[in-house]
Amino acid sequence: MASKQTKSALNSIKMQAASEVGVALNNGYNGDLTARQAGSIGGQMVKDMIASYTQKNAQ
């Protein structure tokens, strides 16, 4: 099970990614999103995490 700190960090990344792709998220339930919107958020999260990992390990 993920720690509270990990969940908070992932939620922050998710909210940032949603903002970047122009999808409005609510805190809590977001079952009204389309599959395309949810996929856009997930894809942006992966891009951001890979960029962050690459930047940290390039040093």
How confident is residue 53, by pLDDT bands cut at 50, 70 and 90? Answer: very high
Q: What is the pLDDT of residues 8-45, one digit of tens each?
A: 999 999 999 999 999 999 988 999 999 999 999 999 99
Dmax over CA atoms of the chain, in Å, equals 41
**What per-residue confidence (pLDDT) applies to 1?**
67
50 backbone dihedrals φ, ψ, rounded to 5°: -65, -45
SS3 28: coil
Domain ranges of the chain: 31-59
**What per-residue confidence (pLDDT) applies to 57?**
92
**What per-residue confidence (pLDDT) applies to 2?**
76
